[in-house]
């Protein structure tokens, strides 16, 4: 018999997958229970309501970001920047229903609280932008407001999937669509950099992509 913890984890994973594929509103607890291979009564023993399930999934996403941030080991700025960007896009992709369907659960307690992880993510990106400035990678002929640039870059990554749904009418978003989002992000950043820095950032992205493909 699976342990209580393993059953809970299986429910969470099935819930995340179905919420991402079908949407929060269109997914029922019965479907999640069937996907896990348990009775609905067993599921509601762990998560009495669908809102309990989505609350736990949001907590998991926050914890994943917190653990990564606590274990950061700074290296070359271009590698650190690409790692930050890919992690943010990957976390958003894995939990895309949280952004896509957020209007459906804005009344839940976790959605009403100030999002400390959103603030921390923005602050980390701003720190990386300041490091780029310190390393002399920005073009001298540009009068850049680093906070404004950070905000523009953060918005591109954070709301890319909203654009895909609202402007391109995509109901099912693939990882290839996320890769287009990375290119949009770079389309804002790279023109601000000197040529050697642009090459360094593109090479860092290539290295990260090859490493991801090899895993």
Instruction: Provide the CATH number for the domain around residue 101.
Output: 1.10.357
What's the chain's Rg over C-alpha atoms?
20
What pLDDT sits at residue 132? 98
The rounded distance, in Å, linking the Cα atoms of 174 and 182 is 13
Tokens linked to 161:
């999937």
pLDDT interval class at 173 (50, 70, 90): confident
Q: What angle do CA 146, 123, 138 make, to 5 degrees?
A: 30
5 pLDDT band (50/70/90 cuts)?
low
Q: How far is CA 25 from CA 18, 58, 101, 154, 184, in A?
A: 11, 16, 8, 28, 30
pLDDT at 111: 63
Q: Among 2-6, 149-153, 204-208, name the one with the lowest average pLDDT.
A: 2-6
Instruction: Give strand pairing partners of 193.
Output: 138
Please report whether residue 135 resides in a domain.
yes
Q: Is residue 90 part of a domain?
A: yes
Which residue shows structure tokens 């984890």?
Answer: 9
The answer to whether residue 139 is domain-embedded is: yes
Would you state the pLDDT for residue 112? 59
Does the structure show a pLDDT above 80 at 215?
Answer: no
Question: Is 17 part of a structural domain of the chain?
Answer: no
Under a CB-based contact definition with an 8 Å cutoff, are residues 97 and 19 in contact?
yes
Domain residues for the domain of 111 are: 75-214
Contact (CB, 8 A) for 84 and 124: yes
- Give me the number of domains the chain comprises: 1
Average pLDDT over residues 182-209: 94
The pLDDT value given to residue 213: 57
Q: Which residue has the higher pLDDT, 209 or 192?
A: 192
Q: Is there a domain that residue 38 lies in?
A: no
Q: Is residue 36 part of a domain?
A: no
* 69 assigned to some structural domain: no
Report the mean per-residue pLDDT for the chain.
Answer: 88
Q: Is 166 part of any domain?
A: yes
Per-residue pLDDT of 112-159, as tens digits, reads 565 677 889 999 999 999 999 999 999 999 999 999 999 999 999 888
Summarize pLDDT for 12-44 with one digit per residue, the tens.
999 999 999 898 999 999 999 999 999 999 999
The share of the chain scoring above pLDDT 90, in percent, equals 60
When pLDDT is averaged across residues 164-174 and rounded to a whole number, the result is 80
């Amino acid at each position: 018999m699976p342990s209580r913890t393993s059953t809970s984890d299986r429910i969470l994973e099935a819930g995340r997958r179905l919420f991402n594929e079908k949407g929060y509103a269109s997914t029922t607890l019965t479907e999640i229970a069937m996907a896990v291979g348990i009775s609905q009564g067993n599921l509601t023993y762990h998560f009495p309501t669908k809102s309990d399930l989505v609350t736990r999934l949001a907590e998991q996403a926050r914890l994943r970001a917190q653990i990564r941030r606590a274990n950061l080991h700074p290296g070359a700025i271009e590698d650190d920047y690409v790692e930050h960007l890919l992690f943010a896009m990957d976390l958003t992709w894995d939990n895309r229903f949280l952004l896509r369907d957020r209007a459906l659960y804005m009344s839940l307690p976790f959605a009403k609280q100030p999002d400390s992880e959103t603030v921390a993510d923005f602050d980390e990106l701003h720190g990386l932008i300041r490091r780029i400035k310190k390393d002399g990678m920005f073009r001298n002929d540009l009068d850049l407001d680093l906070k404004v640039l950070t905000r523009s870059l953060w918005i591109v990554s954070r709301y890319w999937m909203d654009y895909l749904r609202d402007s391109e009418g995509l109901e099912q978003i693939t990882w290839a669509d996320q890769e287009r989002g990375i290119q949009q992000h770079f389309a804002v950043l790279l023109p601000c950099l000197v040529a050697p820095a642009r090459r360094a950032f593109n090479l860092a992205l290539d290295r990260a992509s090859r490493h991801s493909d090899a895993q």
